[in-house]
Amino acid sequence: MIFEDMNPKKVQAIKKFLGDKKALIADDKKTTRTTLKKILTEFGVKVQHIFIADNNSDASEIINDLKIDIVFAGYNVGSEKGIDLLNTHMNVFPNRQRAIFSLISGPNSIASSCLILDTEADDYIAEPFTTKSIADSFLKIVERKITSSPFLNAYHKTKELIFLNELDTARKIIEPLKLGQNHLDEIYYLEARVFQEEGNTEEALKLFEMALEVNDSHYLSLKSLVEEYSNLKMWKNAYTHTIKLLNNYPINPENLPELIRLSIANQQYEDLIKYAEFFSGLEVQSPCLKTNIAASLVICSNYFMKNKERDKGVKTLLEAVKHSSGKFSILEKIISIFIEYKEVKLAYDILNQFEPLHGENPSYRNLEIQIDYCNKDIKSVLKKGIPLAESGAANIEVYEVVILSSIQAQRKTNSIIHLIDKAAAKFPERSKYFQSMYKE
């Protein structure tokens, strides 16, 4: 089936390539392991050369001990990330020309696959998959791997040497390649990488730009330039190169919040309105991507609130709640923004909505007390806040409102001073401020 209608010579080359290869399937789903094993044997990998692991620790041991050539890693392998196995595999095969690393992943948007574009992984198999989609995808990689040319050999050798930090030797390989007229984008990119590894950012930037002059959509050069310009806080350059990148490729959704930071750094505030609409419109299943979108929406809404665009800010924050998957760190930020901008009822409604999930979390209690203070409910602030302050679980805002409420309630001087001492001990950097809050 796999080799149907294929040139027999090519079939022979593929079978020869895979005939002596060892493969590891690191995935905790038995059905996935069974399917992959079947496909690999159909491709000509010997069944006794296929190994299985359901956790990263066993997988790493197998990769190292048996010098595994082909790795299929699940997005999650047990409680760990399958992509973490790539480094182990890179150490065994720093030259990637004949080695294969495929990630099997839950998120299936095209953009999600960008996770592997920035790494030496070869493939991204999105779930749910079909036997045909895995076989087709694997065939493409094998065809790529069996393709050999003096340039490709030099390309992979140079990348290997850069990985091993043998930069002088890498440079010796690059020099003669520069005399030719072909693949100049890749050659400039590789040379830039050598300079980058040596810490010569200026030369690296020049060469990455030269690579773009040859090929204006050279992914790795664009990506490197965005990173380097951002590191140098050259925000305008980082922004324009990100536009060039996005004109040709999506970005890993995990990096969406970076776009917002870049727009803010460039004062491109109209972007934020569009981001908020864009992110709100995305219906995604992956909890990880959902929380990234929620985090992005929080940044946008904070900007709206700061600029007195209350309605937009509120709407965006409510969208962020929807995308938060109930993650407390995100909810905490949303509620804090509502409290900061005196939208106490909204803050309370959201807090209340997640009480069954996070009610026992001390940070939840902190938010509850801050809302009570905004509602001028001094009695509740003291009732809930004093035990939290005494236990040391109160945050800086709660210490502040408990001290202020204690003063307003005319509690005993000793009790107030005791609270101030507690707050100053926990937050020494704000000690002076706490001491200044109360004069006997």
Partner 1 sequence: MTKETKLKAVLSDALEENQYKELNHDIVLRNDTSGVSYFEYKFIKINELRDDSICISLPKNVCQKGHNLSLVIYDTRPVKKITKFPPPDTKGSITIIGKVIELYPNGDDRVLVEIKFTQFKPNEWLKVVESYTGQQNNISSLIEEVKK
Q: Which residues bind partner 1 (CB under 8 A)?
A: 28-32, 35, 107-114, 116-117, 122-134, 136-137, 140, 144, 152, 155-156, 186, 217, 219-220, 239, 242-244, 246-250, 253, 259, 262-263, 268, 270-272, 274-275, 278, 281-286, 289
CA atoms within 13 A on the CB side of 69: 16
> Could you identify the residue written with the tokens 């505030």?
269
Nearer to partner 1, 181 or 267 (CB): 267
Nearest to 259 by CA among 205, 297, 304, 216: 297
Tokens encoding 133 = 């989609």
Query: Closer CB to partner 1, residue 140 or residue 178?
Result: 140
Q: Which is nearer to partner 1, 7 or 130 (CB)?
A: 130
- Of 275 and 434, nearer to partner 1 (C-beta) is 275
Instruction: Give the span between the Cα atoms of 376 and 333, in whole angstroms.
Output: 22
Q: Where is 125: in which H helix or E strand?
A: strand 123-126
Query: By C-beta, is 125 or 170 nearer to partner 1?
Result: 125
Q: Least distance to partner 1 from the beta carbon of 247, Å? A: 5
Residue placing its CB nearer to partner 1 in the complex, 83 or 401: 83
- Least distance to partner 1 from the beta carbon of 69, Å? 17
Nearer to partner 1, 301 or 406 (CB): 301
Q: How far is the CB of 240 from partner 1 (least distance, A)?
A: 8
139 DSSP β-pair partners:
none
Least separation in angstroms between CB 2 and partner 1: 14
Cβ–Cβ under 8 Å, residues 289 and 253: yes
Q: Least CB distance from residue 211 to partner 1, whole Å?
A: 13
Give every CB contact of residue 70 below 8 A, 6+ residues apart in sequence.
Answer: 18, 21, 22, 23, 24, 40, 45, 99, 100, 101, 102
Exposure on the CB side of residue 89, measured as CA atoms within 13 A: 30
Q: Rounded CA gap, 292 and 338, in Å?
A: 20
Are 211 and 221 in contact by the 8 Å Cβ rule? The answer is yes
Residue 176 · residue 137 · CB < 8 Å: no
Closest contact distance (angstroms) between CB of 52 and partner 1 is 13
- Name the burial class of residue 275, with classes exposed (0-12), middle (13-18) and buried (19+) by CB atoms within 10 angstroms of its CB: buried
Strand order of the sheet with strand 100-105? 50-53, 23-26, 70-74, 100-105, 123-126
| Of 293 and 347, CB closest to partner 1 | 293
Polymer length of the chain: 440
- Residues 80, 84, 86, 91, CA torsion sign: negative
Min dist. Cβ of residue 393 to partner 1 (A): 30
Nearest to 395 by CA among 440, 360, 430: 430
Q: Which is nearer to partner 1, 168 or 283 (CB)?
A: 283
Strand partners, 50: 23
Q: Which of 141, 16, 156 is nearest to 71 (CA)?
A: 141
What tokens does 183 get? Answer: 């693949």
Select 64 or 133, whichever has its Cβ closest to partner 1: 133
244 vs 426, beta carbon nearer partner 1: 244
Give which of 335, 374, 337 is closest to 358, Cα–Cα: 335
Shortest Å, Cβ 123 to partner 1: 6
Closest to 92 (Cα-Cα) out of 81, 83, 100 = 100
Q: How far is the CB of 155 from partner 1 (least distance, A)?
A: 6
Please state the closest distance from residue 125 (CB atom) to partner 1, in A. Answer: 7
